[in-house]
């Protein structure tokens, strides 16, 4: 599978990333899903300390034992959680980041994290302090690179200007084209890679779209009404026989995007998102056609 570099780092990740949040709490099932993804060429696993209150990291830690050098590992920090009480609060402080990374290392059964991300963020955060924590971890060799997971253009701009981040994870799909307004170009200009999460828009841009639109889009989605979602699906279906492939390749078309991050709760879902030719890109003409079917919506907040 094609690999792309994350920002200015020496880390290369597969063009498709397995987002592990949907693995569930069955350790054996989770292990089989991850092993299958690794076997077919995905080298990048994305998790967070908050997912299932640490259990997600523990499952991944079990899987990567003995093959750590073959896996690029991303995890996130910033949600100060209590495993027993099942609650959490936002904490981007330097003290929490530097103490929590030790817990993530323990759960992941590794002595370093390839890509460490702040799991959110606002302009009210102590941004300089947060950056300092990540920079120190990088200097200490505990992490290889860092970035943020955010949909907020104003926060993304702050980190792009004030830190050495190599990547941003942000929501991006044919139904959520807000990053195209200026975020993607800004990051590309600054050699900061994008990890596009939600490229299938909750399954409404997958081969199961008709069912998912009825389940998850009945009250609309972003600027789209239920009727618009149904009409666009009809037109997309007339344009392709593999909507999963087209949706993933759509977000990968922009040069800022290093990887499309999809979630999976079964091996079958991994197959749906990988068993096609990743070496071919969307033509410029077809890419423009897809844009003509959807909306170039903009951010109302966090500008």
On whether the CB atoms of residues 18 and 270 are closer than 8 A, the answer is: yes
Residue 209 three-state SS: helix
- Spatial CA neighbour of 2 closest among 33, 31, 44: 44
Q: What is the spatial distance between Cα 53 and Cα 73, in angstroms, rounded to a whole number?
A: 18
Q: What is the spatial distance between Cα 255 and Cα 277, in angstroms, rounded to a whole number?
A: 19
Query: Tokens 């008709």, residue?
Result: 210
Residue of 51, 116, 224, 250 marked catalytic:
51
Q: What is the spatial distance between Cα 87 and Cα 156, in angstroms, rounded to a whole number?
A: 27
169 sits in which H/E element: strand 167-171
User: Has 51 been annotated as catalytic?
Assistant: yes
Helix 94-108 crosses helix 127-139 at what angle (to 10 degrees)?
40
249 sits in which H/E element: helix 243-252
Q: What is the spatial distance between Cα 27 and Cα 22, in angstroms, rounded to a whole number?
A: 12
On whether the CB atoms of residues 13 and 259 are closer than 8 A, the answer is: yes
Which residues are tagged catalytic? Answer: 51
């Amino acid at each position: 599978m094609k690999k792309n570099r994350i920002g200015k780092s020496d880390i290369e990740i597969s063009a498709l990333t397995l987002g592990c949040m949907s693995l569930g709490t069955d350790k054996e099932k989770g292990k089989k899903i991850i092993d299958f993804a690794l076997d077919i060429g995905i080298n990048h696993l994305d998790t967070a300390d908050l997912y299932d209150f640490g259990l997600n990291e523990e499952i991944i830690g079990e899987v990567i034992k003995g093959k750590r050098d073959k896996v690029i590992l991303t995890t996130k920090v910033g949600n100060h959680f209590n495993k027993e009480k099942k609650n959490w609060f936002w904490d981007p402080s330097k003290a929490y980041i530097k103490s929590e990374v030790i817990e993530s290392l323990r759960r992941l059964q590794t002595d370093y994290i390839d890509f460490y991300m702040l799991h959110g963020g606002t302009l009210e955060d102590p941004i300089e302090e947060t950056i300092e924590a990540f920079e120190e971890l990088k200097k200490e060799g505990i992490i290889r690179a860092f970035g943020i997971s955010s949909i907020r253009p104003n926060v993304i701009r702050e980190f792009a200007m004030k830190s050495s981040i190599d990547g941003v994870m942000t929501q991006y799909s044919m139904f959520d084209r807000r990053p195209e307004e200026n975020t993607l170009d800004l990051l590309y200009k600054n050699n900061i890679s994008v990890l596009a999460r939600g490229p299938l828009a909750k399954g409404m841009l997958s081969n199961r779209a008709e069912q998912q639109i009825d389940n998850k889009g009945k009250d609309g989605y972003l600027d789209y009404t239920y009727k618009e979602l149904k009409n666009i699906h009809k037109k997309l279906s007339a344009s392709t026989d593999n909507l999963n492939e087209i949706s993933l390749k759509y977000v990968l078309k922009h040069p800022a995007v290093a990887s499309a991050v999809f979630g999976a709760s079964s091996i079958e879902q991994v197959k749906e998102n990988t068993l096609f030719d990743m070496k071919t890109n969307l033509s410029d003409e077809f890419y423009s056609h897809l844009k003509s079917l959807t909306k170039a919506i903009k951010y109302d907040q966090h500008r």
